[in-house]
RNA sequence: GCGGGGGUCGCCCAGCCUGGUCAACGGCGCGAGGCUUAGGACCUCGUCCCUUAGGGGUUCGUGGGUUCGAAUCCCACCCCCCGCACCA
């Protein structure tokens, strides 16, 4: 941290510049950021998103608002506990990540075996780096989501949600880690991302008094079944399942019992013991032989499948293996197998009657252990599912499409009471803790009832009423609200708050973060020890947040002074609602929409969020940020490398709207150079300036500055930080450069005014440098507490704008001519049009616009011999804006203006320039002067 | 598959809603010149093609269409990115 940064941080701190309290009658802005999760250091992505709020906050303060930008830390949930646990168990990867990627000192890592210590370490680090970056946060309100007082707040919320019927219980299959005793979400998996429980149909084939239970995803193929497969090497069991006698793989027994089946094992044996026996299929009543098939995975579902060789490549290949002697079997099995031919059950365009055969041939599959069988199966399955139609051989299923036949088959088999269901993971899933997961049916789990149509409608209203930046994001909210189903809101493990009515469950991370912004109004009092967690009873919170009850009575019961209670209510009613919540677009499908739902449920409309800011995701040098790939930039690292101001400016300049932001070292270095050179530039410029009367060029600079203020202000309002910062740091700078180049002697007073305002415009982005600059300019007070420049202080002078625009056009034209014309030249003659030509131009343009008498004008000025088309074309080229100024421009004398600029033109063009006004006695050897038009003088190059 | 965003002159990107002032803003890179002992920084000019007078040609994913006129509006297609849930 530089001395300059330290100095200003101290000054801001001493002035309590960012610690706002309610001020009756003062307009307020309340901005919030979705608190970062503290299992790692904050990184440039966090900084990017948060920077929008930071810039906006500082901007709004300059506009005179009372601005609250608070901060908190998310500790709720599984990952912190999980990392800590893995460290305890000696996982080298976790340890290395702490040491090498986050640069945590060795002795600290040792203490990370305590999850709360781990989180507090990162919290401390993150707070430090954010402060040092100059974020204008009110740290008095800081909290962590496991603070006792915050828990009371969460309990209050859930108490009400349940009362309103928005928290309901349900039973659902989940991917379960038996070690963590917790559902295993996608991000908690070492293996099997994207895999979710799939419902298999269990079909009972009668085998004596037993049911040999085959699992299938394709019940519609039952009429094509030719035999049953078991894995001869695997263990199978007889067991009493829900009172029936089943034969299934031994591995499936525990899974069945996790899925609400009552399972009592009876006897275990090898699959080979089943080979050669016969099992009777439902619906067809056929007695099918049991064959050995090593392709059958005993760990998938029941480890028993039935064979449909016409449509299942695996089945066909396994059958061939037996028929063609690649697999040794007993004589009886071989004889039975030889009798079997595939039974086609559906027709499929583009394939023969036995599609499995086609696929096998296409992929040159040799036996039943060929890995290509998976591809073949996928292909056939997909084709049949979308285009297949069941044929007559399928009896009652005939003529149905595959999806229809599936439902019908399930219905028919269920009628015979030979159907059961089982959930299974189609692919292996391994939890991050290394444990293999399975499907568990979780009972009596708590859900937020987001599928409730009334709640949805209310959430939609929140979005309807809110400002969304950028507007394109609005649709994403609507889609999310539509799509959202009930959300499991409680878990068994991790850190957090227990459900007040069911202490076995902890409120899950996303679910405890929905209305917490309201708690910033309370946390200030908690941190100042004016109110303790025990006082935050539901009744007290009802008063503070909903205005219910009488403070006098409550004060006694809760043992807090009535004045404090009233202050709490005042604090909340003043700051709420949230005026702007900014986040990356990744939070729209969950957090931000939850935020809308819960505000809709709990608060009256006047407290619903007013604005949502959405930004894109960050990439590093064009690639996705990833810790494991080492493509990772921490907030601290970037701040240290470029300095706070440059880091901030680089963030601002990197992207607008929902575009993804690409963080590039090169761009940040440029920003650094820019920031570092502002003050030297200003000082040098002022040194070279003089006290003199304002001229046209000064008016031009002021006019231009007027436009810059307008653009920057509007962009700030819309959170278009790239546009805003580019205007301030690039466009204004360019204006100044032009001014300095063009001016004989820059005028001190004009520059001082502009620089003063410039410092204020820079201050949201580069507050340290802006304060420094303000001081250099002799400004009083702090620039962070000054006023945002008003356009009225920089009036527009149309004639001055026109003069510079014309000059610019003339120089550009002249450059063109000089570029094209070869050969020696010593002097450029510039002929400004005559008064009559100007009159002709104005009259003709007016006549054309008003559809007046063009012919009359032409006749009147016929002696000029100017083609009317040239006039029309020029008027068109000038555009409405400039043309308007030409028409209105009474004080603008083109000849005088260009004459005064002739030296400048000469310097720019590198050739002598002589400006003359078209008239009788002028130097015009090539007779060009007659062609001159307003804003378009004629040239002659000598 | 469902939902969303996007493809612009070497790279990043503005413009698109509200068609013409668009060969198309700005930044980077590159080239030339200035400044400088030198380098960096900084400043100026140039950077699709052609052109001895300010002009012309061909461009904004591809192919059609609407229009006097399309990067901008409409249709179809191709390609890329993101999200799709028991989790931050």
pLDDT tens digit sequence for A268-315 = 999 999 999 999 999 999 999 999 999 999 988 999 999 999 999 999
User: Which residues touch A498 (CB under 8 Å, ≥6 apart)?
Assistant: A155, A504, A505, A506, A507
Q: How far is CA A549 from CA A162, A447, A449, A557, A569, in A?
A: 21, 30, 28, 12, 12
The closest nt to A194, taking CA to C1', is B84
Angstrom distance (rounded) from CA A207 to CA A536: 65
> Do residues A445 and A172 touch, judged by C-beta distance below 8 A?
yes
Q: In this structure, is the CB of residue A677 within 7 Å of any atom belonging to strand B?
A: yes
Tokens of A298: 């005993």
**Within 10 Å of residue A560's Cβ, how many Cβ atoms?**
21
Q: In this structure, is the CB of residue A671 within 7 Å of any atom belonging to strand B?
A: no
The closest nt to A926, taking CA to C1', is B53
Q: In this structure, is the CB of residue A585 within 7 Å of any atom belonging to strand B?
A: yes
A196, containing H or E segment = none
| pLDDT under 50: residue ranges of chain A | none
Q: In this structure, is the CB of residue A591 within 7 Å of any atom belonging to strand B?
A: yes
Mean pLDDT (chain A, rounded): 90
What's the CA–C1' distance between A619 and B81, in Å?
12
DSSP H stretches of helix in A250-371: 250-258, 313-323, 331-339, 355-362
- pLDDT at residue A628, as a whole number: 75
Q: How many residues does chain A have?
A: 942
What's the CA–C1' distance between A32 and B61, in Å?
40
Closest CA to A224 of A364, A356, A373: A356
Q: In this structure, is the CB of residue A816 within 7 Å of any atom belonging to strand B?
A: yes
Angstrom distance (rounded) from CA A517 to CA A132: 24
Strands laid side by side in the A498-499 sheet:
A490-491, A502-507, A498-499
Tokens of A168: 């309901």
Angle at which helix A148-163 crosses helix A593-602, to 10 degrees, equals: 70
Tell me: the pLDDT tens digits for A316-347?
999 999 999 998 899 999 999 999 999 999 98
Backbone angles phi, psi at A912, to 5 degrees: -65, 135
- pLDDT at residue A503, as a whole number: 92
- pLDDT at residue A435, as a whole number: 83
DSSP state of A562: H
Tokens of A856: 């009359």
Angstrom distance (rounded) from CA A746 to CA A695: 10
Q: In this structure, is the CB of residue A586 within 7 Å of any atom belonging to strand B?
A: yes
Q: ipTM of the predicted structure?
A: 0.92
Angstrom distance (rounded) from CA A807 to CA A935: 8
Helix/strand/coil (H, E, C) string of A123-183? HHHHHHHHHHCCCCCCHHHCCECCCHHHHHHHHHHHHHHHHCCCEEEEEEEEEEECCCCEE
**Within 10 Å of residue A260's Cβ, how many Cβ atoms?**
12
- pLDDT at residue A744, as a whole number: 79
Closest CA to A131 of A173, A69, A188, A193: A69
Widest CA span of chain A, in angstroms? Answer: 125
Q: How far is CA A690 from CA A684, A685, A749, in A?
A: 12, 10, 8
Angstrom distance (rounded) from CA A581 to CA A649: 21
Q: pTM, whole model, 2 decimals?
A: 0.88
Angstrom distance (rounded) from CA A394 to CA A407: 14
Q: In this structure, is the CB of residue A824 within 7 Å of any atom belonging to strand B?
A: no
The closest nt to A173, taking CA to C1', is B86
Report the sign of the C-alpha dihedral through residues A432, A433, A435, A438, in that order.
negative
Using the C1' atom of nucleotide B29, identify the protein residue whose alpha carbon is closest: A666
Q: In this structure, is the CB of residue A47 within 7 Å of any atom belonging to strand B?
A: no
- pLDDT at residue A880, as a whole number: 78
User: What positions of strand B are covered by protein, i.e. any atom < 7 Å from a CB?
Assistant: 3-6, 12-14, 20-21, 26-29, 41-46, 51-55, 81-88
Q: Which of residues 349-388 of A touch strand B (CB under 7 A)?
A: none
């Amino acid at each position: 941290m530089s001395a300059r940064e330290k100095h200003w941080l101290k000054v801001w701190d001493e002035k309590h510049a960012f610690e706002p309290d309610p001020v009756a009658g003062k307009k307020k802005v309340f901005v919030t950021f979705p608190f970062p999760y503290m299992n790692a250091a904050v990184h440039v992505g966090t900084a990017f998103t948060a920077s929008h709020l930071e810039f906006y906050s500082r901007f709004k303060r300059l506009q005179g608002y009372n601005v609250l930008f608070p901060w908190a830390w998310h500790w709720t949930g599984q990952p912190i506990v999980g990392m800590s646990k893995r460290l305890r168990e000696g996982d080298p990867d976790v340890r290395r990540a702490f040491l090498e990627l986050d640069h945590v000192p060795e002795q600290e890592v040792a203490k990370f075996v305590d999850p709360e210590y781990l989180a507090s370490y990162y919290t401390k680090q993150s707070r430090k780096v954010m402060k040092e970056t100059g974020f204008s946060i009110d740290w008095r309100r800081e909290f962590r989501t496991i603070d006792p007082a915050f828990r009371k707040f969460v309990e209050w919320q859930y108490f009400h949600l349940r009362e309103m019927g928005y928290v309901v219980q349900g039973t659902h299959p989940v991917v379960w880690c038996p070690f963590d005793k917790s559902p295993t979400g996608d991000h908690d998996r070492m293996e099997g991302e994207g895999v979710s429980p799939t419902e298999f149909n269990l079909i009972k084939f009668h085998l004596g008094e037993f049911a040999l239970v085959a699992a299938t995803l394709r019940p519609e193929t039952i009429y094509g079944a030719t035999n049953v497969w078991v894995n001869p090497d695997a263990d199978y069991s007889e067991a009493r399942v829900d009172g029936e006698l089943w034969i299934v793989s031994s591995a499936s027994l525990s899974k069945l019992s996790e899925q609400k089946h009552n399972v009592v094992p009876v006897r275990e044996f090898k699959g080979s013991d089943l080979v050669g026996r016969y099992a009777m299929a439902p619906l067809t009543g056929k007695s099918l032989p049991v064959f050995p098939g090593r392709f059958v995975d005993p760990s998938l579902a029941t480890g028993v499948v039935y064979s449909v060789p016409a449509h299942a490549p695996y089945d066909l290949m396994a059958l061939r293996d037996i028929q063609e002697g690649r697999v040794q079997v007993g004589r009886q099995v071989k004889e039975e197998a030889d009798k079997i031919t595939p039974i086609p059950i559906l027709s499929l365009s583009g394939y023969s009657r036995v599609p499995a055969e086609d696929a096998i041939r296409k992929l040159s599959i040799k036996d039943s252990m060929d890995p290509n069988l998976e591809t073949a199966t996928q292909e056939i399955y997909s084709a049949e599912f979308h285009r297949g139609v069941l044929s007559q051989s399928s009896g009652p299923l005939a003529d149905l499409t595959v999806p229809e036949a599936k439902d019908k088959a399930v219905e028919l088999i269920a009628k015979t009471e030979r159907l059961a269901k089982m959930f299974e993971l189609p692919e292996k899933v391994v939890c991050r803790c290394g444990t293999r997961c399975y499907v568990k049916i979780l009972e009596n789990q708590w859900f937020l009832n987001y599928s409730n149509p009334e709640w949805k409608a209310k959430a939609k209203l929140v979005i309807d009423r809110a400002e969304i930046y950028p507007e394109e994001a609005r649709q994403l909210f609507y889609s999310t609200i539509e799509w959202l189903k009930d959300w499991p809101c409680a878990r068994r493990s991790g850190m957090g708050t227990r459900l007040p009515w069911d202490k076995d469950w902890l409120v899950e991370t996303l679910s405890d973060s929905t209305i917490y912004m309201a708690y910033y109004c309370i946390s200030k009092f908690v941190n100042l020890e004016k109110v303790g967690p025990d006082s935050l009873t539901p009744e007290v919170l009802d008063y503070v947040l909903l205005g219910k009850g009488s403070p006098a009575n409550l004060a006694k019961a809760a043992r807090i002074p009535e004045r404090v209670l009233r202050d709490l209510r005042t604090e909340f009613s003043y700051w709420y609602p949230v005026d702007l919540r900014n986040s990356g677009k990744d939070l729209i499908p969950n957090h931000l929409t939850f935020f809308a739902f819960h505000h809709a449920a709990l608060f009256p409309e006047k407290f619903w969020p007013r604005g949502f800011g959405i930004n894109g995701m960050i990439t590093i040098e064009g690639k996705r940020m990833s810790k494991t790939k080492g493509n990772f930039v921490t907030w601290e690292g970037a701040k240290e490398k470029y300095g706070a101001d440059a880091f901030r400016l680089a963030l601002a300049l990197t992207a607008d709207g929902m575009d993804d932001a690409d963080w590039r070292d090169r761009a940040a270095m440029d920003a650094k150079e820019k920031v570092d050179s502002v003050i030297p530039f200003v000082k040098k410029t002022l040194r070279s300036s003089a006290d003199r009367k304002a001229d046209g060029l000064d008016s031009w600079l002021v006019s231009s500055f007027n436009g810059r203020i307008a653009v920057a202000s509007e962009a700030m309002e819309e959170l278009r930080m790239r546009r805003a910062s580019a205007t301030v740091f690039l466009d204004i700078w360019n204006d100044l450069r032009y001014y300095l180049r063009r001016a004989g002697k820059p005028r001190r007073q004009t520059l001082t005014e502009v620089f003063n305002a410039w410092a204020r415009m820079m201050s949201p982005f580069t507050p340290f440098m802006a304060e420094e600059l303000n001081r250099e300019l002799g400004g009083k007070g702090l620039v962070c507490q000054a006023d945002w420049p008003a356009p009225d202080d920089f009036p527009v002078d149309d004639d001055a704008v026109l003069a510079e625009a014309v000059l610019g056009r003339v120089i550009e034209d002249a450059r063109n001519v000089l570029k094209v014309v070869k050969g020696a030249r010593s002097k450029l003659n510039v002929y400004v049009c005559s008064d009559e030509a100007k009159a002709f131009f104005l009259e003709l343009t007016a006549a054309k616009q008003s559809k007046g008498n063009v012919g009359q004008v032409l006749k009147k000025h016929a002696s000029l011999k100017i083609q009317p088309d040239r006039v029309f074309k020029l008027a068109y080229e000038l555009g409405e804006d400039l043309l308007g100024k030409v028409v209105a421009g009474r004080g603008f004398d083109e000849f005088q203006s260009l004459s005064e600029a002739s030296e400048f033109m000469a310097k720019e063009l590198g050739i002598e320039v002589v400006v003359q006004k078209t008239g009788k006695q002028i130097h015009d050897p090539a007779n060009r002067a007659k062609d001159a038009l307003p804003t378009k003088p004629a040239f002659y190059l000598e």
